[in-house]
Structure 1
Amino acid sequence: MAGSAQSPRARYREQTRAEIKDIALRQLAEGGTGAVALTRIAKEVGLSGPALYRYFDSRDALLTDLIRDAYADLAGAATAAAGALPEGTSPRARLQALGAACREWAVAEPHRYLLIQGTPVPGYTAPADTLDSARAVLGPFLPAFAQAEPTASVRPVVAQMTEWAARDTAVAGWARTRVPAGAEGVALAGAVLGWTHMHGAVGLEVSGQFEGMGHDGATLLTAQIGLLADAFGLA
């Protein structure tokens, strides 16, 4: 059965919401989260302040939509990178490809990356479902650690992640969608440590902390991920 077409009013609403978000993203790029102002957006869109609230009832609601969109795009970049890998790609090469894809997205969209991985917005609390969005980014990393052989340096993290998976059935179930039963703890440890390695290096890069230093961000991230792969005994 063919899907029902949107009404003109629904299309207009979606178009207006998209325009509002585009303006907010421009403000975000120009001055960070503090520059996102509903009054300025309303003026540019041609709406009164009260009329704008029919589309987003608060600045936090607008930020939440931007955060969800950013996580979805970053997860899409990671998923696409994983899907493009040839059959038989080694776990180490998989990890490097995923890290590179996430970095490329962050460098191309620094304001959006910092919205989700930078300094928390004062007074803003993200809704619980953004945790699922963050997990969608980490998901493609889990299979790289399915057959890992952790070295002594990371075994304490593996032990804690294994205990976490035993306590939290939702986390364990999510991990088992990516790795065999029994590998949840090591895969979670690898993904979490991968997150810290990747976002530590990338976050410093996109916030301009490496300017004037004699290295390339891609080279640094490759080295960081290589050290992580060594710690987990990845081939």
Structure 2
Amino acid sequence: MAGSSGSSDDAHGSGKASSPRSRYRDQVRAEIKAAALEQIRAGGAPALSLNAVAKGLGLTGPALYKYFRGRDDLLTELICDGYDDAAAAMRAAADRAAGAPPRQRLHALAAAFRAWATGAPHVYQLLAGTPSPGYQAPPETADRARAVLGPLLGVLGQGDCRGAALDLRAEMRCWLNGSPPVQQWVEGWAPDADAATALAGTVTAWARLHGVVGLEVQGLFGGMGHRPGTLLHAEMENLADALGLPAD
């Protein structure tokens, strides 16, 4: 996992049975991350204190640094875990909706993302915001974020850009031409679609998802007369209309 400090991934990846020492290390690391997430749930990312985590687990501060290099290292792992969980929710929704019309699949993915975010609002806010002043997420977190978006590419690539969206598609094509990794990512999820169209639709969907879900998670719909799920459905339906996404 990105940003880990001395994890046992190499042993697991080699197919060798992990040692008791390695299993103990994994267990302690998992307990540290769980305690850190609880702090973040209670007070947001700024509340995260390694000394408080260590004290709560009966460790000394220096002992905790045997498992994580520092606060940013721990934050990076929590962010990677969050993206992995969100990606798993999106893949599961895509599998359940496989074979359904594209528009229905889009709604299924949007609902799955909303359910994940509202089920773990502190994790969503950790991913959507800036965990701490000066924190710089390493490049590998971008790969995790793309895994969340991947299922959207295959669905939205079946639509077509028109009107004002043509400018966005042109910009996406420039991005694709200048970034082979992005090109490979899009083509891997939407091999039969125009890559720029798929990416333009996905970026738009992502912005609309965050717009609705972010406001809901922050409690900013309080006192308003609508259900967030109804608004999200309308946003995805409007996007599907704009892209001419097939309904059957």
Fold-level similarity (TM above 0.5):
yes
Per-residue CA shift, 1:163-184, capped at 9, x if unaligned? 2112222211111112236610
8 Å CA contact 2:98–2:105 kept in 1: the answer is no
Task: Summarize the Cα distance change of 1:133–1:86 in structure 2 as closer, same or farther, 3 Å threshold.
Answer: closer
Per-residue CA shift, 1:94-130, capped at 9, x if unaligned? 1110000000000000000000013453111001000
Within the candidate set 232, 236, 241, 1:225 is matched to: 236
> Is 1:55 the equivalent of 2:67?
yes
Per-residue CA shift, 1:178-230, capped at 9, x if unaligned? 22366100000011101000011101100111111111111111011111111
8 Å CA contact 2:75–2:131 kept in 1: the answer is no
Identical-residue share of aligned pairs (%): 50
Normalising by structure 1, what TM-score? 0.95
Partner of 2:92: 80
Per-residue CA shift, 1:17-42, capped at 9, x if unaligned? 01111100100000000111001111
Take 1:140 and 1:219, find their aligned partners in 2: how far apart are those partners? 22
Task: Summarize the Cα distance change of 1:147–1:3 in structure 2 as closer, same or farther, 3 Å threshold.
Answer: closer
CA-CA distance at 1:146 after TM superposition: 2.3
Per-residue CA shift, 1:30-76, capped at 9, x if unaligned? 00001110011111111111111001110000100000000000000
8 Å CA contact 2:149–2:202 kept in 1: the answer is yes
Within the candidate set 40, 50, 68, 2:80 is matched to: 68
> Is 1:117 the equivalent of 2:128?
yes
The CA RMSD measured in Å over matched residues stands at 1.4
8 Å CA contact 1:118–1:203 kept in 2: the answer is no
Normalising by structure 2, what TM-score? 0.90
- Size of the aligned set, in residue pairs, is 233
CA-CA distance at 1:155 after TM superposition: 1.2
CA-CA distance at 1:91 after TM superposition: 1.2
Take 1:102 and 1:33, find their aligned partners in 2: how far apart are those partners? 21
* SS class of match (1:205): helix
Take 1:3 and 1:118, find their aligned partners in 2: how far apart are those partners? 37
Partner of 2:144: 133
Which stretch of the first structure deviates more once superposed, 192-201 or 2-11? 2-11
Take 1:132 and 1:216, find their aligned partners in 2: how far apart are those partners? 32
Task: Summarize the Cα distance change of 1:31–1:82 in structure 2 as closer, same or farther, 3 Å threshold.
Answer: same
CA-CA distance at 1:12 after TM superposition: 1.0
Partner amino acid, structure 2, of 1:96: H
Which stretch of the first structure deviates more once superposed, 168-177 or 73-82? 168-177
What does residue range 6-155 of structure 1 map to in structure 2 within 5 Å?
Answer: 6-87=18-99, 89-155=100-166
Take 1:22 and 1:120, find their aligned partners in 2: how far apart are those partners? 16
8 Å CA contact 1:78–1:101 kept in 2: the answer is yes
> Is 1:166 the equivalent of 2:166?
no
Structure 2 unaligned regions, length at least 5? 1-13
Partner of 1:193: 204
Structure 1 unaligned regions, length at least 5? none
